[in-house]
Structure 1
Amino acid sequence: MAHVCYAGRSLNSERRLGVSRPSLKASCRLILAPTLLALFVGLLAVPGLARAKDLINQSSDGTAIRGYDTVAYFTDATAVKGSDEFSYTWLGATWHFASAKHRDLFASDPVKYAPQYGGYCSDAMVDGFTANANPEAWRIVEGKLYLNASQEVLLEWESNAADEIEKADSQWGVIKAHLTD
């Protein structure tokens, strides 16, 4: 007779001792429930994932795109950290700029300078979810600013940017409808 080991004992020895094995259904519940709970809680704690509730991706103090000057991407072709001294509030977030000139340019046409998808990662948006973006991982495509989670993600995203943008635009419409501004 074949012996099947269960928790260090053979099935035959369990029968002799009057020990019963838990049913498969009960075992699955005992294993899967805590595993799924841990996975769910773990996903909520992943630093790169943004649990979007705001139209603009912002830090806990309400600062948009980690305080970077969104106009500088267009005028200086580089990522520049902004200053509290030159700030502007738009769509519930505080935007920081490196100069009064940049602040005033943004204030005159925020849609022109604001990153697409509220500053969330463009690559994540393709798959229909939000993730925090790294302001150092950026590109301007057809006059629009796109941020990504990392330089590696940016390189992947760039390899097929036109298709990625089309998909992300579609997803953003759905996600944006569920966000509060």
Structure 2
Amino acid sequence: MKTLVNRKNTFSSLFTLLLVMFSFQAQAKDPIYTSFFSNVAVSGYDTVAYFTDNKATKGSSKYVTEYQGAQWQFKNADNLAAFKAEPEKYAPQYGGYCAWAVASNDTASGDPQQWTVEDGKLYLNYNANIQAKWLKDKSNLIEQADNNWPAVIR
């Protein structure tokens, strides 16, 4: 009898664990990509600097704002003010998720070192290999990603 009770408890525990894991994976993703242990968008990089300095520049915790549930950091007060005035202009497309992944109807983290500004919009890619694929066909991939967004995070 004791063995039967232990088996039921084990089965019940496993079932609960699987249910929790499934429900965790089935949850919608945040509209802005942040790492699992942080709420900082674009890994703390200054999104305005991509446009003004034409390079990836780390932001500072001195110049911070909240936008779409994430914290955004900037290298100076001017970039912070520019972002606050027009966040849609400076925020990366697809919430900072990898643009190539979104074009493939999926999501992946965006690496702030792998970026492109195209037609006044910022796109991030997962890594250098993915960015090379992205750059070969970015016009078509942007069209595909636009069609897939935001359904891929729901």
Structure (1 or 2) with the larger CA radius of gyration: 1
The partner residue of 1:134 within 101, 107, 111 is 111
In 2, Cα distance between equivalents of 1:77 and 1:146: 13
- 2:109 is paired with a residue of what secondary structure? coil
Aligned to 1:149: 126
Counting helix residues as a fraction of each chain, which structure ranks higher?
2
**Aligned equivalent of 2:82:** 105
TM-fit CA distance, 1:175: 2.4
CA RMSD, 1 decimal: 1.9
Structure 2 gaps of 5+ residues are 1-17
Contact 1:122 1:147 in 2 (8 A): yes
**How far off is 1:52 after superposition?**
5.9
Q: Deviations over 1:78-110 (max 9, x none)?
A: 000001000010000000000010000000000
Whether the 8 Å CA contact 1:52–1:130 is kept in 2: the answer is: no
Shift of 1:57: 0.3
Q: Give, in whole Å, the separation in 1 of the partners of 2:143 and 2:122.
A: 14
Matched with 1:53 is 29
Query: Structure 1 runs of 4+ off > 2 angstroms?
Result: none
- 1-side partners of 2:98 and 2:91: how far apart? 13
Tell me what 1:163 maps to. Answer: 140
Counterpart of 2:97 (choices 117, 120, 137) is 120
How many angstroms apart in 1 are the aligned matches of 2:117 and 2:28? 23
The question of whether the paired residues in 2 share the 8 Å contact of 1:86 and 1:99 is answered with yes
> 62, 69, 77: which one pairs with 2:54?
77
Q: 1-side partners of 2:94 and 2:113: how far apart?
A: 16
The match for 1:19 is: none
C-alpha distance in 1 between matches for 2:28 and 2:80: 26
Contact preservation (8 Å) 2:32, 2:68 = yes
1:151 and 1:96 map into 2 onto residues whose CA distance is 24
Normalised by the size of structure 2, how large is the TM-score?
Answer: 0.80
- Residue correspondences, number: 131
Does the 8 Å contact 2:66/2:72 carry over to 1? Answer: yes
